[in-house]
């Protein structure tokens, strides 16, 4: 209901704005001070097959024709102005802005925009009804342990639209009553409605993609008061926004036979944010400027919680420690910039930035239930019973930057930065990173310029890497002190602590202790940027850019996680403008990236089944089970285009071509793996030599060629014609696996335990013809 009201309000607002613009146009047309243009036309698209990718942000996914309507109108009379600017008004991604006011005194802006988002052209699901917050299976639907066993799936699968519409409205007003004061006020609102795909866990070996209803709104109000003199300026700014989700959760019937019949997901909760910012700057003297910003922001959320499970034994809100999380995060920022020119040739900037994210949410013990099974809340001695943790982050950064003009043709640049980040409940308490950089810009008369910048950064943990920091905070003391814990092990009576001193649960880990999470791991980063600009003649510019970033995660060859990462890109740009009205440009960018990920299997094998305790506990250090994935990305992007004016500027011909092709190759190394065989509900394992298979090359390819022309029929009337040829291809074996259907193309899957909703991204070959008539004032 609210969704429809919101959408109706939006459409009404747009209609009013368009009517206002159209009504104002004739009046303005005959008024002195009027200028601008209106473009009216039509476009026709034809595709080899329907494609959501083609219409990803336009809403046009199949053969279609639509009205082209763009406008850019401005009326100025003395200091008074009124303007309207619109684009794509005949499509679902229309944007319209109106503005008016008096120069130097006040202004009013109204903006409206829509952005569609298509996820799939041929989505299929067995769920019936309106696809609201309760998804039902059709009568007679045969549930199964795999999609293949769902024998009615093919017949029951139906096509559904998986797409969202984003509508944004923004109204802002400013007043400058005199030279020194400025007041700003604005309100903005966006809403997103439709359906999106969302995965949902069924069991450890099955998942269902749900067509989840989206009905979200964000509304904000903001105000600012500014004051400035020649010596300095101050501004106080406030923003309050609240987010409302009118589809707060979704329940669904499980098409699989495993574990439970009714699933439930809690979708994004309503939330609120308030931000108060005070900023100011002072020109301490003609060469020194101090700029300061202090901000305090508060995020809150207090949505009522759902029960632990839909299953009868845990479906009771009284079992929860709290009815709602009463969550609050306070975020503080302080930024100080001091910029100075001690001499005419030297400029120095020092910056200090401090940021603190203070999570004030109370921590509670939640006795979780895995999936929506019938279980009662987990015992406090169980690993499932864990505390919700309020994580804090504090970051301080100090940077000094200097630019020195050594001569008319040479500039030198140097910078040093120190960043300290402190975190709670992570494997390191604090990281420190120091970055040193330097560069030179050398000009060679008016013919060439070379820039070279290098940087070296070193990040390290201030304390040791210890995943126990998280583990021991998450779990109950009852769990941590129970030597017979880890209930999934058949040999529960074995006392691990006494058998394996130092490896008992009190001193254990959430992750493999050899893993280093890449965002906090010790790292050496080297960066090189080289730019060369050539001006061989007055009408030719050639630019070359090379960028290389090398990351080395340090600490020893036995460590796991991201290890070596290299990214290189090289670009060549050419721009040629031999005379007025003639321009040709082109560029090509080649990017290559590679990284290695090291892993060690100690998972399912070590956790469940008939392994010995030694296997289980020492599994994390069994290097027989090491594996590595080597990723290589190769991406080529290119563009070519130009424009040519002829017949005394009456005819303009233009062409533009964009091309992008990406290839990802992933190869693997592994010697041994535990392999699991599932027979019914019985698992059996064996540690066997393996031959791994490299991933088939993953590719995407996009190209777009636009050829067009404009002919001035009269001085003020321009005829435009053009064609756009587009192509998109992609191949990803992991996604394309869903296309090998035993039953239904998208809704079923060759990967028999994922009931998918949308298949691979749609390839397309498209042709769009367009014709326009533009009138200019």
Segment holding 3, helix H or strand E: helix 2-29
Query: Does residue 143 belong to the site contacting another protein (CB under 8 A)?
Result: no
Question: Is residue 699 classed exposed, middle or buried when 0-12, 13-18 and 19+ CB atoms within 10 A define those classes?
Answer: middle
CB nearer to another protein: give 85 or 138.
85
* List 371, 485, 766, 774, residue binding another protein (CB under 8 A): 371
| 243 contacts another protein (rule: CB under 8 A) | yes
Phi, psi of 13, deg, nearest 5: -60, -45
Question: In angstroms, rounded to a whole number, what is the distance separating the alpha carbons of residues 230 and 88?
Answer: 43
Using CB under 8 A, which residues numbered 120 to 139 contact another protein?
none
Write the DSSP symbol of residue 319: G
Q: Which of 32, 130, 140, 408 lies at the binding interface for another protein (CB under 8 A)? A: 408
Residue 728 touching another protein (CB under 8 A):
yes
Query: Which of 138, 642 has the CB closer to another protein?
Result: 642
Residues 519-558 that bind another protein (CB under 8 A): 519, 543, 545, 547
Coil, helix or strand for 380?
Answer: coil
25, 145, 149, 218: residue in contact with another protein (rule CB under 8 A): 218
**In whole angstroms, how close is the CB of 321 to another protein at the nearest point?**
8
Tokens of 10: 């939006």
Which residues from 38-57 bind another protein, rule CB under 8 A? 53, 56-57
Of 138 and 604, the one with the shorter C-beta distance to another protein is 604
Q: Is 137 helix (H, G, I), strand (E, B) or coil?
A: coil
Q: Does 587 bind another protein (CB under 8 A)?
A: yes
Nearer to another protein, 253 or 600 (CB): 600
Residue whose CB is less far from another protein, 171 or 393? 393
Q: Which of 223, 604, 613, 724 binds another protein (CB under 8 A)?
A: 604
Our finding on whether 153 is near another protein (CB under 8 A) is: no
Q: Is 265 in the site for another protein (CB under 8 A)?
A: yes
Collapse the DSSP code of 17 into the 3-class scheme (helix H, G, I; strand E, B; otherwise coil) and give the result. Answer: helix
Q: Which residue has the tokens 């406090």?
A: 380
Stretch that binds another protein, among 23-31, 298-306, 476-484, 707-715 (CB under 8 A): 298-306
Residues 94 and 10: beta-carbon distance below 8 Å: no
Residue 196 in contact with residue 165, Cβ under 8 Å?
A: no
Using CA atoms in the order 122, 744, 258, 201, what is the torsion angle rounded to 10 degrees?
A: -30
Q: Can you spell out the DSSP letters for 138-188?
A: PTT---BSSTTT-TTHHHH-EEEEEEEEEEEEEEEEEE-SSSSEEEEEEEE
Candidate list 425, 500, 535, 685; residue touching another protein; CB under 8 A: 425
Q: Which of positions 494-513 make contact with another protein (CB under 8 A)?
A: 510-512
Residues in the interface with another protein (CB under 8 A) total: 176
Identify the residue among 111, 315, 335, 550 touching another protein (CB under 8 A): 335
Q: Residue 337 interacts with another protein (CB under 8 A)?
A: yes
Residues of this chain, 273-292, that bind another protein according to CB under 8 A: 273, 279-281, 289, 291
Where residue 648 falls (left for φ over 0; alpha for ψ -120 to 50; beta otherwise) is: left
Among 149, 198, 455, 554, binds another protein (CB under 8 A): 198
642 binds another protein (CB under 8 A): no
Q: How far apart are CA 368 and CA 363, in angstroms?
A: 15
CA distance 439 to 457: 15
Q: Which of 221, 333, 334 has its CA nearest to residue 273?
A: 221
User: Which segment (24-32, 131-139, 148-156, 631-639) binds another protein by CB under 8 A?
Assistant: 631-639
Please choose, out of 16-24, 60-68, 153-161, 654-662, the segment that lies near another protein by the rule CB under 8 A: 654-662
* Residue 233 lies near another protein (rule: CB under 8 A): yes
Verify binding: residue 423, another protein, rule CB under 8 A.
yes
The kind and range of the H/E element at 98 are strand 95-102
Closer by beta carbon to another protein, 138 or else 702 = 702
Q: How far apart are CA 61 and CA 766, in angstroms?
A: 10
Sketch the per residue contact string, 445 through 484, with another protein: x for CB under 8 A, - otherwise.
----------------------------------------
At 275, which helix (H) or strand (E)?
strand 271-285
> According to the binding rule CB under 8 A, does residue 115 interact with another protein?
yes
Q: Which residue lies nearer to another protein by CB, 138 or 531?
A: 531
Q: What is the DSSP letter of 316?
A: -
Residue 10 touching another protein (CB under 8 A)? no
Round to whole Å and give the CA distance between 233 and 226: 7
657-686 positions binding another protein, by CB under 8 A: 658-660, 662, 664, 666, 668, 670, 673
Is residue 752 within the footprint of another protein (CB under 8 A)? yes
Residues whose CB falls within 8 Å of the CB of residue 175, separated by 6 or more in sequence, listed in order = 105, 106, 182, 183
Per the DSSP assignment, residues forming a β-bridge with 564 are 552
């Amino acid at each position: 209901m609210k969704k429809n009201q919101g959408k109706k309000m939006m459409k009404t607002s747009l209609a009013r704005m368009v009517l206002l613009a159209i009504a104002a146009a004739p009046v303005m047309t005959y008024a002195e001070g009027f200028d601008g243009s209106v473009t009216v036309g039509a476009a026709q698209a034809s595709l080899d097959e329907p494609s959501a990718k083609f219409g990803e942000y336009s809403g046009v996914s199949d053969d279609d024709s639509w009205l082209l309507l763009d406008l850019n109108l401005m009326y100025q009379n003395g200091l008074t102005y009124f303007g309207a600017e619109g684009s794509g008004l005949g499509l679902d991604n229309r944007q319209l802005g109106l503005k008016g006011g008096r120069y130097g005194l006040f202004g009013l802006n109204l903006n409206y925009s829509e952005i569609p988002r298509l996820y799939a052209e041929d989505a299929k699901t067995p769920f019936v009804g309106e696809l609201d917050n309760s998804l039902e299976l059709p009568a007679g639907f045969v549930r199964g342990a795999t999609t293949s066993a769902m024998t009615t799936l093919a017949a029951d699968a139906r096509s559904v639209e998986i797409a969202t519409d984003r509508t944004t409205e923004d109204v802002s007003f400013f007043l400058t009553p005199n030279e020194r004061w400025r007041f700003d006020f604005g309100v903005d609102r966006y809403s997103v409605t439709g359906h999106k795909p969302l995965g949902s866990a069924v069991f450890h070996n099955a998942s269902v993609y749900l067509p989840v209803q989206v009905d979200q709104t964000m509304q904000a109000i903001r105000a600012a008061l500014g004051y400035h003199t020649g010596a300095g300026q101050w501004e106080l700014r406030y923003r309050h926004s609240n987010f409302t989700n009118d589809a707060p959760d979704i329940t669904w019937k499980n098409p699989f036979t495993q574990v439970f019949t009714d699933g439930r997901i809690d979708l994004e909760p309503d939330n609120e944010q308030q931000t108060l910012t005070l900023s100011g700057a002072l020109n301490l003297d003609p060469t020194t400027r101090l700029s300061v910003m202090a901000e305090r922001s508060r995020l809150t959320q207090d949505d009522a919680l759902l029960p632990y499970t839909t299953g009868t034994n845990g479906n009771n809100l009284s079992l929860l420690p709290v009815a709602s999380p009463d969550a609050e995060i306070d975020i503080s920022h302080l930024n100080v910039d001091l910029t100075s020119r001690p001499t005419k040739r030297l400029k120095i900037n020092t910056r200090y930035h401090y940021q603190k994210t203070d999570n004030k949410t109370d921590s509670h013990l939640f006795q979780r239930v895995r999936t929506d099974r019938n279980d009662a809340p987990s015992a406090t001695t169980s690993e499932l019973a864990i505390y919700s943790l309020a994580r804090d982050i504090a970051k301080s950064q100090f940077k000094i930057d200097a630019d020195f003009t050594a001569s008319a043709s040479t500039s030198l640049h140097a910078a040093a930065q120190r960043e300290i980040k402190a975190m709670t409940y992570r494997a390191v308490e604090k990281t420190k990173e120091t970055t040193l950089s330097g560069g030179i810009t050398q000009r060679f008369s008016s013919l060439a310029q070379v820039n070279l910048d290098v940087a070296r950064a070193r990040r390290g943990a201030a304390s040791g890497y210890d995943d126990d920091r998280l583990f021991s905070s998450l779990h109950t003391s009852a769990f941590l002190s129970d030597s017979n814990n880890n209930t999934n092990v058949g040999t529960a009576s074995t006392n691990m602590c006494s058998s394996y001193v130092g490896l008992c649960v009190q001193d254990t880990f959430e992750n493999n202790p050899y893993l280093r999470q890449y965002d906090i791991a010790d790292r050496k980063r080297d960066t090189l940027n080289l730019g060369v600009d050539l001006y061989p003649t007055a009408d030719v510019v050639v630019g070359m850019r090379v960028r290389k970033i090398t990351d080395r995660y340090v600490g020893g060859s036995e460590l796991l996680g991201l290890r070596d990462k290299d990214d290189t890109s090289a670009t060549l740009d050419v721009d040629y403008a031999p005379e007025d009205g003639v321009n040709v440009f082109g560029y090509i960018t080649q990017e290559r990236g590679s990284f290695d990920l090291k892993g060690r299997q100690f998972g399912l094998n070590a956790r469940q089944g008939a392994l010995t305790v030694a296997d289980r506990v020492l599994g994390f250090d069994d290097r027989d089970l090491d594996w590595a994935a080597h990723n290589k990305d190769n991406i080529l992007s290119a563009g070519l285009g130009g424009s040519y004016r002829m017949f005394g500027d009456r005819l303009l011909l233009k062409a533009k071509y964009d091309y992008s092709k990406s290839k990802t190759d992933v190869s693997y190394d592994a010697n041994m793996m535990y392999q699991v065989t599932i027979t019914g509900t019985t698992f059996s394992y064996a540690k066997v030599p393996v031959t791994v298979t490299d991933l088939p090359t993953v590719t995407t390819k996009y190209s777009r060629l636009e050829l067009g022309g404009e002919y001035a029929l009269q001085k003020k009337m321009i005829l435009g014609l053009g064609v756009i040829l587009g192509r998109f291809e992609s191949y990803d074996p992991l996604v394309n696996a869903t296309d090998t259907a035993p039953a239904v193309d998208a809704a079923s899957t060759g990967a028999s335990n994922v009931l998918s909703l949308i298949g691979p991204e749609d390839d397309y070959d498209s042709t769009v013809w367009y014709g326009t008539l533009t009138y200019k004032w």
